[in-house]
Amino acid sequence: MKDRSESAERLRGLFNITVTPFTAQGEMDIAALAENVERVIGLGFDGLLIGGTYGEFPTMTTEERADLFRAVMDIAGDRVPVMLCSAGSDARVVHDLTVLAGDLGGVPMITPPYVSEITDAQIVAFFKEMIPLSKTGAIIYNAPGIGITLSPSVIEELADIPGVVGLKQGDLNPTAIDRIANRVGGRIRLFCASDLAFLGPMMAGFDGTSSTNSGALPELILATYRAIEAGDAKAACDLHRLWYGFRALARLHGQPQFVKAAMRQRGFKGGQVRKPLQEISDAAIAELALVLQVLAQDPRSGVSI
């Protein structure tokens, strides 16, 4: 993307949270990454999210993250919009990756710095410093799982910063979703951060969803999203219920290790996780195999194994 106006226009729909495939030796597997990117673009996904929390960015060096950005943008080009997570606790790292993301034509995605006892005023000052660095604008990433949960009132203040083009909302409390949809919607693009429970935010008026599990179940999650996009809430609900068993196991065994295991079972190149994460147990793999077999028996799922 060239600039902020193009970002604001194109940022909508279903974005695949692309896992970062690592080899058994811990190296990034760019060939596997390219295969996964091509799969979801070919199926018709609206965009990609690269190097986020489930992309394992906290386990990567700044240089590796920059290499990942460059590799994905070389693969995807301008075919779909790409969110590039430039989050970090070191403002110097966030600065450099935010500039790089915009220069490459992606849209940087920034969390508040996850340091102790930072005030709301300091968080706003941080975003005011970082947002203008990207020529394509930037996305606020409200990611409770890695530290700070932004309140709706702070999000409203951040949405007024020139250059903010979107919000990836990880706090799915219904009250927060309702307030954000009605007070921030229309000013910036709103994305639900989880495919585990995205029907509610979409019905509330969000513009899109990011999905980790679409790495393993791309056909099913895409069909679910398209149904709700078309206004067919019943069809979307029916499709979403199909993979409850998968979601329950994902919550139990953790991400991204579970989705990577599921990708491998389907013949996709999920790769390995990096420490401190560990691969799921043999017992969990057996549970996963049973769930996938059940899904494959239902033609609505689009899943084959």
Asked if 244 is an active-site residue, the reply is no
Give the other-Cβ count within 10 Å of 51's Cβ: 27
Q: DSSP 3-state assignment of 79? A: coil
Q: DSSP 3-state assignment of 164? A: strand
d(CA 202, CA 214): 17
Instruction: Tell me, rounded to whole angstroms, the distance of Cα 276 from its chain centroid.
Output: 21
Active-site annotation holder among 2, 114, 141, 275:
141
Active-site annotation holder among 2, 114, 168, 225:
168
Asked if 128 is an active-site residue, the reply is no
Cα separations in angstroms, 234 against 166, 203, 229: 28, 12, 12
Instruction: Record the tokens describing residue 221, joined without a space.
Output: 């999650």
Element holding 305 (H helix, E strand) = none
d(CA 257, CA 260): 5
Check: CB of residue 138 under 8 Å from CB of residue 165: yes
263 CB contacts (<8 Å, ≥6 apart)?
19, 36, 215, 216, 269, 270
Check: CB of residue 162 under 8 Å from CB of residue 132: yes
Phi/psi for 22 (5° steps) reads: -110, 145
Cα separations in angstroms, 72 against 7, 18, 58, 215, 220: 17, 10, 18, 15, 24
- What b/e readout covers 271-294, taking b as 16+ CB neighbours within 10 angstroms? bbbbeebeebeeebbebbeebbee
Q: Which of 17, 33, 16 is closest to 271 using CA atoms?
A: 33
Element holding 103 (H helix, E strand) = helix 91-104
Residues serving a catalytic function are 141, 168
